[in-house]
Amino acid sequence: MAQGLIEVERKFTPGPDTEERLQKLGATLEHRVTFRDTYYDTSELSLMLSDHWLRQREGSGWEFKCPGVTGVSGPHNEYVEVTSESAIVTQLFELLGSGEQETAGVAAVLGRLKLQEVASFITTRSSWKLALSGAHEEESLLTVDLDSTDFGYAVGEVEAVVHEKAEVPAALEKIISVSSMLGEGDRPLYAQQNAGSASTGEGTC
């Protein structure tokens, strides 16, 4: 049975010289983009308190991030990222217990599920590609995303994409190596498996 791609990532706090360090490591700037993220929850924050995150990203649509089962040892969590609207609606009804499920898009069921906007902010992101020296040509590049928001928060992320859980430990080793070369503070590691549409994810949040 085909499995979704698994994103293995490590978040860190970027410094003023992070882009310079990336350039010295041979990283290539892919693009800079600006987008708005809007998060939805109940007035009691029922989703967030159970580590579920419903987001609408400008230009990208809906995503529902749900906690998965820990698959490898270490300071990380595993999440499933659901991007199919029908699958998101199904999970929302299961979590919030609001009677018989409707066959509708996410926006159409917000009112019935008592979901409302709880946060909205603009993010500017620079995305970099980096290959460690000695890596085989067939191995995918690492992605480094640097985000800054309109309320002053900044976060970075090193990410690798693998096809099987057996590949996660090697990916973690690469990510830790790059983080060490960037010289940034330690942050938790995450493994995320995509569900729904065929997407490799959006990086940080």
* 86-104 residue pLDDT tens: 999 999 999 998 777 878 8
A 10 A CB-CB count for 29 gives: 14
Inside any domain, residue 203: no
CA distance 138 to 135: 8
Domain that holds residue 124: 6-191
Is there a contact between 41 and 116 (Cβ–Cβ < 8 Å)?
yes
204 within domain boundaries: no
3-state SS, residue 30? strand
51 domain residue, yes or no: yes
pLDDT (tens digit per residue) in 116-159: 999 999 999 999 999 865 444 445 689 999 999 999 999 998 98
How far CA 84 is from CA of 1, 8, 198, in Å, comes to 19, 21, 9
Number of residues assigned to the chain? 205
Angle (nearest 5°) at CA 26 between 75 and 133:
70
Q: Is residue 197 part of a domain?
A: no
Q: How many domains, in total, are found in the chain?
A: 1
Q: Coil, helix or strand for 107?
A: helix
CATH number at residue 89: 2.40.320.10
Backbone angles phi, psi at 166, to 5 degrees: -65, -20
The pTM of the full predicted model, rounded to 2 decimals, is: 0.73
Residue 123 resides in a domain = yes
pLDDT at 191: 58
In a domain, 84, yes or no: yes
**Inside any domain, residue 201:** no
Classify residue 23: in a domain, yes or no. yes
Is residue 164's pLDDT more than 90?
A: no
